Amino acid sequence: MDIHDILSLSQFNKSSLLDLFKATNKIKKLEKGYKYSNFLKNKLVALLFFEPSSRTFSSFSAAVKKLGGQTIEYQNPTQTSSVVKGETLEDTVKIIENYVDAIVIRHSETDALERAAQAVAIPVINAGNGIGEHPTQALLDLFTIYDKFKTLDNLTGLIAGDLLNGRTVHSLIKGLGLFKHITLYLLSPRELVLTKEQIRDYSSQNITLIPIKTVNEIPKKCDFWYWTRVQKERFKSLADYKKIKDSFILTKKLLDQKGNNQMIIMHPLPRINEIEIEIDNDSRSVYLTKQIKNGLYIRMALLSLLFGKI
Ligand code: NCD
């Protein structure tokens, strides 16, 4: 895998994704005995999170440390760093570049990651850029699906929730589009459908996108359901958010009606109320278990590849 910055799923092709999955399986094997614990020896990675995060932040932090590296962590730099005084993102990253070997950034502006990557020579990793993309989340999602079905070809999935603002969805669709005969049913309130440009960009010979408006249209044959929350922070008015936030809830009843035994149930988290708690213990649910663990493994593999250690 010859990748310097990790900004978008568009940088990957089928073979680089499969290489990453191989490296991820290797990391899983090395876990016994912590045989990876010097892969990032003497490396320092900055985590610069301008937006709230639980899993992405802590799994990157854990990944670096498990590999023997160290982190400098900025959570909420708009309150705690020179950004308060008006420092530009470009200046901030140029300063940090003097201390560290790579920077992981989450930012509310869609163009922020490109700008940061332009400003510095060290690798920049996108941990979420506004309503744009969230490549490392999609990589762990793709790995989770691959791990279950041992392929990413010939799959049918359902993606539900906020397709317009959900950056994890954007990266996931791009990633799936690299494989053959993918069919995705897209369930969302009409205010939160993908834009025409997105549909055009994501469509390819490999992928068929089928927007649906009601749960009745979900086919029984899906290999995975990928549910997402309505992205409250992207709405101009709270009233607009409240009107549509509960449009689609994954209930036990819906799962009984439209699910099948082989499928998996995914969610990038945080879950607000769009999946009933009762579903958590269903053996098909992976959002609180495998997906989380895979997030750690995939980030460890990515960092190891980035520093040429695997
Ligand atoms: C997602 C994000 O930040 O885009 N969270 C995550 O990192 N898994 C999803 C979300 O916030 O809804």
Looking at the annotation, which residues are catalytic? 55-56, 85, 106, 134
CA distance 271 to 283: 18
Dist CA 56 CA 69 (whole Å): 17
Distance 257 CA to ligand 1 centre (A): 28
Residue 308 Cα, ligand 1 centroid: separation in angstroms?
Answer: 28
Mean pLDDT of the residues in the chain? 96
| pLDDT value at residue 160 | 98
Q: Which of 168, 227, 272 to mutate to test the pocket of ligand 1 (most atoms within 8 A of CB)?
A: 168
Structure tokens at 2: 């010859």
Q: How far apart are CA 242 and CA 144, in angstroms?
A: 32
CA of 130 to the centre of ligand 1 (A): 10
Which ligand 1 atom is the nearest neighbour of the CA of 231?
A: 12
Low-confidence ranges of the chain (pLDDT < 70): 1
CA 117–ligand 1 middle distance (angstroms) = 21
Q: What SS3 state is found at 185?
A: strand
The number of the ligand 1 atom at minimal distance from the alpha carbon of 134 is 4
Tens digit of each residue's pLDDT (9 = 90 or more) over 68-88: 999 999 998 887 778 878 889
Give per-residue pLDDT as tens, 116-136: 999 999 999 999 999 999 999
Report residue 112 CA to chain centroid gap: 17
Distance between CA atoms of residues 169 and 192, nearest Å? 12
Per-residue model confidence (pLDDT) at position 81 = 79
Q: Give the Å distance between the CA of 32 and the centre of ligand 1.
A: 30
Q: Which atom of ligand 1 is nearest to the CA of 229?
A: 12
Q: How far is the CA of 70 from the centre of ligand 1 (A)?
A: 24
Q: Using CB atoms within 10 Å of the CB of residue 85, give its burial: 0 to 12 exposed, 13 to 18 middle, 19+ buried.
A: exposed
Nearest CA to ligand 1 atom 11: 270
State the helix-helix crossing angle for 167-176 and 135-149, rounded to 10 degrees.
50
Residue 195: DSSP 8-state: P
Locus of tokens 């854990």? 62
Q: Which of 251, 226, 217, 207 has the alpha carbon at shortest distance from 160?
A: 226
Q: Single out the residue of 77, 79, 102 nearest to residue 92, CA to CA.
A: 77
Q: Whose CA is nearest to atom 8 of ligand 1?
A: 268
- Residue with the smallest CA separation from ligand 1 atom 3 is 128
Atom of ligand 1 at shortest range from CA of 269: 8
Mutate to test the pocket of ligand 1, among 55, 56, 266, 296 (most ligand atoms within 8 A of CB): 56
Pick from 159, 153, 160: nearest CA to 173? 159
The pairing of strands 264-266 and 124-129 is unpaired
Please tell me the predicted confidence (pLDDT) of residue 204.
Answer: 83
Cβ-Cβ contacts under 8 Å for 113 (sequence gap 6 or more): 7, 105, 107, 124, 126, 129, 132
Minimum CA distance residue for ligand 1 atom 7: 56
Q: Which residues line ligand 1 (CB under 6 A)?
A: 55-56, 128, 134, 137, 167-168, 228-229, 231, 268-270
